[in-house]
Structure 1
Amino acid sequence: MRSAPFTLLLSAFLFAAGCSDSGDGNGDETTGSGGATGGTGGGTTSGSSGATSGSGGATSASSGATSGSGGGATSASSGATSGSGGGATSASSGTGGEGAGGSDGAGGGASARVPAASASTLREAGEKANPPILIGAAISGGGLGNNDYKRVAGAEHSYVTAENEMKWDSLEPSAGNFSWGSADNIVNWARQNNMKIKGHTLVWHNQLPGWMSSMTGKDNVTAAMRRHITQVMGHFKDRVDTWDVVNEAVQTDSDTGVGNPRMRPSVFLNQIGENYIDLAFQIAREQDPKAKLYYNDYSIDARNAKVDFVYNMVKGMVDRGVPIDGVGFQMHIGPPNNEATGADVAANMKRFTDLGLEVLISEMDINRCGGVVTAEEQLAYYHDIVEACFKLPKCTAITFWGINDGRSWLNSWSGALCNGQSSQSLLFNDQYGKKETYNRVMNALLGK
């Protein structure tokens, strides 16, 4: 179902009034083909070998210099402090989060992010924005065997998520026995290219080894979860400082986020109960007091029942003092998912940042399989959704789920209606050339 192209103001107004529409989304379903693998998401997995405005008075500062942005708003980073109440400031850092020596507050009207005057790569556009924003990609071990893949990935991105190599079945294939090689290769490559890394994912119902998915007993499952989180975060400590702690804990009757939102059945829910989510975050915080800890899900970008459920779940976590730092919007757009406008995304992200949390786009692709999303719509969505994140200083990163069309996980996943054909879903073509989707994303990052 296609959402109507509302303006941001109208969308936010209707959203606040409780207006509800169908959503988008099928996140992290995984499939692989020749080393290209998918994200995480609501259902089946099939692996492949080895693949495993600022408003007036709001300020932000940069290195002591101010840069005006309409309405008297100024912008700055590095040591700026963001407080609560009116005229909140926005600090920046290399992570797109708090500024060096600064603090981040809630409330009031946060200032707008200021775009770079020019940039030759997406990475440069993100790094020169004020505050900076991380531009990421899902990286596969198979992809790193291709020189063009590595060249484009390193030049255009500052942030890495392993496509499959850091999921449970890859890291702990048998109980208590860990396999680090494939994940270490990706993490080490990213660090050699001065890229930050987000760990994906510690607790998820999918891509579990059989020994874990069939485990019974609350104490047994709790102990296994604790061991996995502790060992994985401990192994990557000081190299990986942001984590998707829990992934896709909520489901609805449809992949669009519509119908009967509820907790998703899993070995964790079935054996531990709903508090497994709180417990996973608490264990993660104990392991690394400085890490950023995220909840990640699909179909929470449009206006639907699922985003309302997830919002209430996350708000409850915040109210209980659970150590959660942010929420990842997967942003898989196109079949079998719904289509979300930039206005929808902006309104939903604002709800979570108003809780004092960061948000990020964690797995973005927009597929054109089955003719559901037209070429014109795809270009508009890429621009407007990226723009919605970019304009929100507490939206800290945008990650695209793959590098080029030929390696997209969607090509061989039946749910996407591609039937083995190219999903045409990313920013680079099969020859690693820039597509018009790339240009629209660049325009959004440059404020055009």
Structure 2
Amino acid sequence: MTAVPFGHRYGEVVITVLDAHGQPLRDHEVVVEQRAHAFSFGNIGFDFIPVANEETDPPAGAFGGAAPDVAAGIAGLFFDLFNTATLPFYWGAFEPRRGSPDTRRLHRTAEWFGRHGCRVKGHPLVWHTLTADWLRDRPTGEVEAAVRARIRREVTGFADVVQAWDVVNEAVIMPVFSNEPQRNAITRLAWERGRMTTVRLAFDEARAADPSATLLLNDFDLSPAYECLIEGLLAAGVRIDALGLQSHMHQGYWGEERTLAILDRFARFGLPLHLTETTLVSGDLMPAHIEDLNDYQVASWPSTAEGEQRQADEVVRHYRTLLSHPSVEAVTYWGLTDAGAWLGAPCGLVRADGTPKPAYDALRGLVKGEWWLPATALRTDDAGRAEVRGFLGDYELRCAAGAASFTIAAPGGDVLLRMGA
């Protein structure tokens, strides 16, 4: 396979180490170690809501998930690999009864992830699927008012713990979504008000509620229809911070060529790309003739030894391809474990019993191996300087005189560290 360039992911800085009196520490041994990635390596945190809330008999989640004892046992696997967690804000599950949102549990969970050094994203604010059923028969004007109020409430209430939101999910299909006898309220809103108007109101409300949050438009439809929607929104002045691209590969790995072609098509908008929902299965592949992945229903979909090896190979290839593209700044794998996985697919990086699959180890070998600077001994020169090269992110320097933190945020630069001050 051709070598993939990652130069844009690395930085080189010259550190000048000073003592407490401001004098250079000449010919001095120092140890430099990476502490965090700037790149967002994410996964969903649905399984850990009961753990964060110390629940032994939690209410059912929107997509099920690992039992609390299993989830508690794999929390270390999550934090050893991922630095971003996506939490579920599906309206129907978050607020099954009007006026009774699950704010407290989700806020505690977001705090819990934050204490473990993870950034948090909320998913989603507006989506036609799993929306609040109590809105179904309400007039469209009331639906719009409820959507606006819901966005303001969540974005404001979680501004201290949630840094990013999938503001609108799957807007391309939203106005014509029709897999149920009666249109849900969000589809009706998008049909009557228009797709662009619906997206605009959602982004306007979210932006006003938390100007510092990263706001995404997210979709599984990566056809020209999504590109046309993005073009129209940007031309109309809607401020989108990043584009979300779903990549559920239940029917097989896309391959490097197709993946890069998709990234190039959406990179032309000049916005960061987030691979928001990535899956690769470790069992039989879903048949190619299935158009809507939700239509594939099987009694059992086991992980297999052969499939796990294939998944491990494809995870490495996929992440290498994504990080080779300079527009990609985040990847969220959709599920740590097979327990409660979407569509029952064996797409987790950890088996249902809590044991890591080869894909987990392979991905960790990149994130905390090849793309990570372990504790490395260096010696300063006569001016107290040492050069450090590593993946963009946060670092720590230690020596006999003390310790200090620094960041590699760009391909080059100078850092001045004063020890013991």
Counterpart of 1:392 (choices 310, 325, 334) is: 325
CA distance in 2, matches of 1:343, 1:440: 21
Counterpart of 2:254 (choices 303, 318, 340) is: 340
Deviation sequence 1:96-130 (CA, Å, 0-9, x none): xxxxxxxxxxxxxxxxxxxxx999xxxx7xx35xx
* Aligned position for 2:77: 152
CA distance in 2, matches of 1:205, 1:358: 25
Matched, 1:270 2:270: no
Alpha carbons 1:384, 1:444 under 8 Å: kept: no
Matched, 1:326 2:242: yes
SS, match of residue 240 in structure 1:
coil
Task: Write the mapping of 1:49-448 to structure 2, written as runs, cut at 5 A.
Answer: 53=5, 61-63=11-13, 127-128=36-37, 132-140=38-46, 141-142=49-50, 145-146=68-69, 147-162=72-87, 164=88, 166-217=89-140, 219-251=141-173, 266-274=187-195, 275-300=197-222, 307-335=223-251, 339-372=253-286, 375=307, 377-411=310-344, 423-443=345-365, 445=367, 446=370
Deviation sequence 1:76-110 (CA, Å, 0-9, x none): xxxxxxxxxxxxxxxxxxxxxxxxxxxxxxxxxxx
Q: Which amino acid aligns with 2:259?
A: V
SS, match of residue 364 in structure 1:
strand
Residues 143 and 268 from structure 1, CA distance in 2 versus in 1: closer, same or farther, beyond 3 angstroms? farther
Residues 435 and 205 from structure 1, CA distance in 2 versus in 1: closer, same or farther, beyond 3 angstroms? same
Q: Which amino acid aligns with 1:238?
A: D
Quote the offset at 1:63 in angstroms: 4.5
Alpha carbons 1:133, 1:390 under 8 Å: kept: no
Residues 239 and 64 from structure 1, CA distance in 2 versus in 1: closer, same or farther, beyond 3 angstroms? farther
SS, match of residue 220 in structure 1:
helix
Deviation sequence 1:206-246 (CA, Å, 0-9, x none): 111212233322x2222111101101101001211210000
Could you tell which deviates more after superposition, 239-248 or 177-186? Answer: 177-186
Identity %: 23
Residues 183 and 197 from structure 1, CA distance in 2 versus in 1: closer, same or farther, beyond 3 angstroms? same
Alpha carbons 2:122, 2:162 under 8 Å: kept: yes
CA distance in 2, matches of 1:394, 1:64: 26
Residues 372 and 207 from structure 1, CA distance in 2 versus in 1: closer, same or farther, beyond 3 angstroms? closer
Residues 238 and 143 from structure 1, CA distance in 2 versus in 1: closer, same or farther, beyond 3 angstroms? closer
* Aligned position for 1:47: none
Q: Which amino acid aligns with 1:401?
A: W
CA distance in 2, matches of 1:330, 1:59: 22
CA distance in 2, matches of 1:150, 1:407: 16
* Higher strand fraction (1 or 2): 2
Alpha carbons 2:79, 2:116 under 8 Å: kept: yes
Alpha carbons 1:364, 1:399 under 8 Å: kept: yes
CA distance in 2, matches of 1:367, 1:317: 34
Alpha carbons 2:43, 2:82 under 8 Å: kept: yes
Alpha carbons 1:198, 1:241 under 8 Å: kept: yes
Q: In angstroms, what is the RMSD of aligned CA positions?
A: 3.3
* Aligned position for 2:376: none
SS, match of residue 162 in structure 2:
coil
Quote the offset at 1:444 in angstroms: 5.0
Q: Which amino acid aligns with 1:160?
A: A
CA distance in 1, matches of 2:261, 2:142: 41
Q: TM-score, normalised by structure 2?
A: 0.64
Deviation sequence 1:405-441 (CA, Å, 0-9, x none): 2342332xxxxxxxxxxx3312222343332212433
Residues 212 and 59 from structure 1, CA distance in 2 versus in 1: closer, same or farther, beyond 3 angstroms? closer
Quote the offset at 1:370 in angstroms: 4.1
Alpha carbons 1:331, 1:365 under 8 Å: kept: yes
* Aligned position for 1:92: none
Larger relative contact order (CA 8 Å, sep ≥ 6) = 2
Quote the offset at 1:172 in angstroms: 2.9
Alpha carbons 1:244, 1:296 under 8 Å: kept: yes
Q: TM-score, normalised by structure 1?
A: 0.61
CA distance in 2, matches of 1:278, 1:377: 42
Residues 193 and 442 from structure 1, CA distance in 2 versus in 1: closer, same or farther, beyond 3 angstroms? closer
SS, match of residue 406 in structure 1:
coil
CA distance in 2, matches of 1:197, 1:157: 11
* Aligned position for 1:415: none
Residues 62 and 447 from structure 1, CA distance in 2 versus in 1: closer, same or farther, beyond 3 angstroms? closer
Alpha carbons 1:7, 1:343 under 8 Å: kept: no
How many residues are aligned here? Answer: 306
Quote the offset at 1:277 in angstroms: 1.0
Structure 1 segments unaligned to the other structure (5+ residues): 1-5, 10-52, 66-116, 256-263, 301-306, 412-422
CA distance in 2, matches of 1:118, 1:444: 16
Quote the offset at 1:442 in angstroms: 3.8
CA distance in 2, matches of 1:349, 1:299: 13
4+ aligned runs moved over 6 Å, structure 1: 6-9
Deviation sequence 1:277-301 (CA, Å, 0-9, x none): 122112211111121110112253x
Alpha carbons 1:8, 1:346 under 8 Å: kept: no
Structure number with greater Rg is 2
Alpha carbons 1:342, 1:387 under 8 Å: kept: no
